A and B are shown apart, each in its own frame.
Chain A
Amino acid sequence: MADTETSSLALLQAERIRVEFDSLVAVRDASLSLHSGELLGLIGPNGAGKTTLLRALCGLQPMAAGRVRILDEQLTPSTTHLMQHIGFTPDTPPVYEGLTVRDYLRFIAKAYNLDASEVDERIDFWLEQVWLADKADQKIKALSRGMRQRIGLARTLLPNPTVILLDEPAAGLDPAGRVQFRQLLCNLRDQSKAIIVSSHILADMNEYCTHIAIMSRGSIVRQGTVAHVVASGDGTRCLYHLQLSRPTPQVAGLLEAIKGIDNLRTNRLHIEFEYSSDPEEAANLLAGLIRHEVPVSAFTPMHPNLERAYLQTGIEQVD
């Protein structure tokens, strides 16, 4: 990422990627670079161009303009040797439904020319990692959507790629699966892979991503480390939580009248609002509330998080 650029080699570099579908510009001049051990979360509304960008990065999507470099070598249709360093899992991974899980992964191992003596061992390892060890000999057509998504993950990870692109990988997973998946991602990140994950589950991304890129209408509108993106929402504003000791209906009217308070939400004893992040102004506000005999039992500034930073960008849903 631009702000953490080191002298180390970027595993993935994208320069001014542009993808067009007739007159629609799906991705507009997107640039990013990813180093080893970096996990970039790609977020944005539906139709923002996240999937198209991921497809372009792995060479599946024809680009109107732009250049992708993997391990400092430009990705072109003729550089098939680079494909062994890239793994991509689409949101609904295509699989051979007529094969068993093991046979399908053997097919993948053959295509990646993996050492025949260790193929079964590797398949067992990755099936264990994606919690499908007991389904190895079942036909894929008999498995649920979530399980197919796990097969897609195993397919991507089996050849041990350096750059991993995952498009909404947790969408079909159950809650337990999501927890395990988070752990898997953290492990991969710690193995110095460069990973991009697109997802709508911002709370999860807050946990495992090192970097965030927010996309809107084909453009990357904000990118950087998680801390940088979260802080760059609006540094001058903060969300406060006010807890009352007893219901006080007139508090809402009182707060509304105070200049600088926005996005007021009340729920009996709990009130949330946005106000200046300056601690002195916050102290003055609290003193004023007490002066007006508001029964304050707690007054807490909420720490900024990714969800809030994303909402603060004001990105609208694309139809």
Chain B
Amino acid sequence: MAYFSLTNNAIAWGQVRLRGGWRNVIITIGTCAVLVVGLILLCIRVQFAPFKDILYGWTMALLGVQIAWTMLAACGGIQSGIRRDVDAKIIESHRLMPISDMAAVLGYIVGSSSQAMVGAGLTLIIGMVTATAAGIGAINWLAANGILLVFAVVCSTAIAMLSFQSKGAFAAMIALLSLGVVSGGVVFAVLPGLTLLCAPAIGNNIFGIIERGIAWNWTYLLSFCMQFVFAGLFFLAAARKFRRDYVPAFGWALGIALLLAWVVLSVSGILAWPQISSRALRGVAVDARTQIIASTIGTMLLALVPISSAAWQENNSRRRRALRDPAWARQPASPEIITVLASLIVLLVPLSTVPRLRLPLDGTIACAVGLFAGMMCVRFLLGMLYLIRRPTLLIVGFWLVCAWAGPPVLDAIRYQFMWERGVNAPQVTALTGFGPVGLMMAVSGVGVPSPWMGAALQILTAAVMSWLYRLMCRPRPVVAKAPSIQL
């Protein structure tokens, strides 16, 4: 329990002290609460609308305030708390302390968001009073707040994890959530897993819950479970980053767990789409095939997390062995095995969501083989980049655009070109299957002819990449450099 000690958590204590201590927190938030209550009483006194309507309006507004406290103030506070310590290098002083990684991250989350949490607590109480007085029912108010709070936990852990490695974590989260809104919910519609993760947007959404009440069903239970799983994974990754900022946040094991969690989320989201689709999205027509393809592509990208981590670990281990490191203990997990495992997990998305296999069995096998080989190409590319210490993200991004997205995009351009000239050409040719994305589209029911051709191309590319990688890994004679002064 010392790992999660809150009562004696030095980091949390420090973060609260830096915000002026509890006295300052209570005075600031108390002033805000008094102002809000004063405004509510003023509105009631002025009587510009019926009493219940005023309080109904205030309850909705207070839910907006709750979103601001839990999503903006809390997450913003966590990012600023962590970044201040990272930028001022005081985090190095914390790393020297005999406190566990998890206790430190918990301290950052709780201590940095203390002000926002006190604010949210007071808003919860005020809102409960207004909701009851407005005849909405405290249970609706509590349900909406509960859903919001669980989602805030996921966001807080994600922000904590990202803040250890980037200054733009909070901005990225806001951008991602805004993208969902700006795109009219299309992002959520094509990735049902994301909708399931964003519980406040499920079904009637939290504002609708206050208005119409909540229809509890299994999707909420699943969503809560998955949110806690994701929060746990982000929390563990943040703890890794707190202690060692030079290692990938997700080691291969955590990466595989993240991938599995995402697959469960995506598959459940696709299958339960009618129950979880937001009320606001019911006018948006998205077919299941698009959801399957988008979710599969998302899963393929996520599969790069454990693969990349395994490749990094192998390279690190190889270097240590070459240097005859006395601390080198054991062989790391084979990146090839991790790649095969990750590819198998990716395949679960189309295989468990496509109503019945549109491809004959041998076609499906060809696509699976093509996917393994395509993933293996990235594994060797990552291995080479880690070996020569070149900017990994940029080059892998370029590879993904060319080798993964290239063939289907080129095929689409070809079709468009022919169509504009009035030529009756097939919409999809074997070209689409020349990349792993196209092969996954084939498994998802897009009629890609001769997938074995694409699979063969992927195998050939993987073989070449493997040969290049082995060539680069060949041990070179290590010449010990003499010290500058001979003793």
Tell me, in angstroms, the Cα distance from A99 to B14 when the chains sit together: 9
Tell me, in angstroms, the Cα distance from A189 to B95 when the chains sit together: 25
Contact of A90 with B92 in the complex, beta carbons under 8 Å? yes
Supposing A84-B98, A315-B484 touch, asked if A62 and B244 sit within 8 A by C-beta, the answer is yes
* Stretch binding the partner chain, chosen from A64-72, A192-200, A293-301: A64-72
Contact of B325 with A65 in the complex, beta carbons under 8 Å? yes
Contact of A64 with B484 in the complex, beta carbons under 8 Å? no
* Stretch binding the partner chain, chosen from B153-161, B316-324, B361-369: B316-324
Tell me, in angstroms, the Cα distance from A95 to B319 when the chains sit together: 36
Supposing A15-B326, A28-B481, A221-B483 touch, asked if A60 and B98 sit within 8 A by C-beta, the answer is no
Contact of A96 with B324 in the complex, beta carbons under 8 Å? no
Contact of B98 with A80 in the complex, beta carbons under 8 Å? yes
Q: Is A77 an interface residue (CB 8 A)?
A: yes
* Stretch binding the partner chain, chosen from A109-117, A239-247, A256-264, A266-274: A109-117
Interface of A is mostly: mixed
Contact of B484 with A107 in the complex, beta carbons under 8 Å? no
Query: Which residues of B are found within 8 Å of A66, using beta-carbon distances?
Result: 325-327
Contact of B389 among A22, A77, A219 (CB under 8 A): A22
Q: Is A39 an interface residue (CB 8 A)?
A: no
Q: Is B80 an interface residue (CB 8 A)?
A: no
Contact of A83 with B485 in the complex, beta carbons under 8 Å? no
Query: Which residues of B are found within 8 Å of A59, using beta-carbon distances?
Result: 95-96
Supposing A77-B243, A221-B484 touch, asked if A107 and B10 sit within 8 A by C-beta, the answer is yes
Q: Is B93 an interface residue (CB 8 A)?
A: yes
Supposing A94-B90, A314-B485, A315-B485 touch, asked if A65 and B244 sit within 8 A by C-beta, the answer is no
Residues 13-41 of B, flagged 1 when their CB comes within 8 A of A and 0 if not, give: 11001100000000000000000000000
A52 → chain B, closest Cβ, in Å? 13
Supposing A16-B325, A16-B326, A90-B92 touch, asked if A96 and B14 sit within 8 A by C-beta, the answer is yes
Supposing A60-B96, A94-B93 touch, asked if A99 and B17 sit within 8 A by C-beta, the answer is yes
Q: Is B42 an interface residue (CB 8 A)?
A: no
Query: Which residues of B are found within 8 Å of A99, using beta-carbon distances?
Result: 14, 17-18
Residues from 85 to 101 in A contacting B, C-beta threshold 8 Å: 86-88, 90, 93-96, 98-99
With both beta carbons as reference points, the residue of chain A lying nearest to B327 in the complex is identified as A67
B434 → chain A, closest Cβ, in Å? 36
Listed residue (A63, A65, A67) with the most chain B CB atoms within 10 angstroms of its CB:
A65
Tell me, in angstroms, the Cα distance from A99 to B20 when the chains sit together: 9
Supposing A22-B389, A222-B485 touch, asked if A107 and B319 sit within 8 A by C-beta, the answer is no
Query: Which residues of A are found within 8 Å of B481, using beta-carbon distances?
Result: 28
Tell me, in angstroms, the Cα distance from A157 to B448 when the chains sit together: 70
Q: Is B94 an interface residue (CB 8 A)?
A: yes
Contact of B326 with A88 in the complex, beta carbons under 8 Å? no
Residues 316-346 of B, flagged 1 when their CB comes within 8 A of A and 0 if not, give: 0001100111111000000000000000000
A51 → chain B, closest Cβ, in Å? 12
Residues 37-59 of A, flagged 1 when their CB comes within 8 A of B and 0 if not, give: 00000000000000000000011
Contact of B10 among A60, A86, A88, A110 (CB under 8 A): A110
Query: Which residues of B are found within 8 Å of A103, using beta-carbon distances?
Result: 17
Contact of B327 with A96 in the complex, beta carbons under 8 Å? no
Query: Which residues of B are found within 8 Å of A93, using beta-carbon distances?
Result: 93
Contact of A60 with B18 in the complex, beta carbons under 8 Å? no
Query: Which residues of A are found within 8 Å of B326, using beta-carbon distances?
Result: 15-16, 65-67
Listed residue (A74, A90, A113, A313) with the most chain B CB atoms within 10 angstroms of its CB:
A113
Q: Is B487 an interface residue (CB 8 A)?
A: yes
Query: Which residues of B are found within 8 Å of A64, using beta-carbon distances?
Result: 319-320, 323, 325
Query: Which residues of B are found within 8 Å of A110, using beta-carbon distances?
Result: 8, 10, 13-14
Q: Is A81 an interface residue (CB 8 A)?
A: yes
Q: Is B89 an interface residue (CB 8 A)?
A: yes
Tell me, in angstroms, the Cα distance from A125 to B11 when the chains sit together: 24
Residues 76-100 of B, flagged 1 when their CB comes within 8 A of A and 0 if not, give: 0000000000001110111111111
With both beta carbons as reference points, the residue of chain B lying nearest to A110 in the complex is identified as B10
Tell me, in angstroms, the Cα distance from A15 to B325 when the chains sit together: 9
Listed residue (B14, B96, B320, B326) with the most chain A CB atoms within 10 angstroms of its CB:
B96
A50 → chain B, closest Cβ, in Å? 15
Contact of B88 with A94 in the complex, beta carbons under 8 Å? yes
Tell me, in angstroms, the Cα distance from A95 to B14 when the chains sit together: 11
With both beta carbons as reference points, the residue of chain A lying nearest to B12 in the complex is identified as A110
Contact of B93 with A219 in the complex, beta carbons under 8 Å? no
Tell me, in angstroms, the Cα distance from A60 to B483 when the chains sit together: 25
Residues from 202 to 223 in A contacting B, C-beta threshold 8 Å: 216-217, 219, 221-222
Contact of A74 among B8, B101, B246, B327 (CB under 8 A): B327
Q: Is A18 an interface residue (CB 8 A)?
A: yes
Query: Which residues of B are found within 8 Å of A108, using beta-carbon distances?
Result: 10, 97
Supposing A59-B95, A111-B99 touch, asked if A217 and B484 sit within 8 A by C-beta, the answer is yes
Tell me, in angstroms, the Cα distance from A60 to B485 when the chains sit together: 29
Contact of A60 with B327 in the complex, beta carbons under 8 Å? no
Query: Which residues of A are found within 8 Å of B99, using beta-carbon distances?
Result: 80, 111
A215 → chain B, closest Cβ, in Å? 10
Contact of B18 with A219 in the complex, beta carbons under 8 Å? no
Contact of A94 with B89 in the complex, beta carbons under 8 Å? yes
Query: Which residues of A are found within 8 Å of B94, using beta-carbon distances?
Result: 111
A103 → chain B, closest Cβ, in Å? 6
Q: Is A122 an interface residue (CB 8 A)?
A: no
Query: Which residues of A are found within 8 Å of B88, using beta-carbon distances?
Result: 94
Contact of A18 with B323 in the complex, beta carbons under 8 Å? yes
Knowing that A65-B324, A94-B88, A107-B13 touch, tell me 14 more A-B residue pairs with CB under 8 angstroms: A16-B325, A60-B95, A62-B246, A66-B327, A80-B99, A83-B96, A83-B97, A98-B18, A103-B17, A110-B8, A111-B94, A113-B98, A216-B483, A221-B485
Return the 3 tightest CB-CB contacts between A and B, nearest first: A65-B325, A111-B10, A110-B10
16 contacts between A and B (CB under 8 A): A16-B326, A28-B481, A62-B246, A64-B320, A64-B325, A65-B320, A65-B325, A67-B327, A84-B98, A98-B18, A103-B17, A111-B97, A111-B98, A219-B484, A221-B485, A221-B487
Query: Which residues of B come within 8 Å of A, CB atoms?
Result: 8, 10-11, 13-14, 17-18, 88-90, 92-101, 243-244, 246, 319-320, 323-328, 389, 481, 483-485, 487
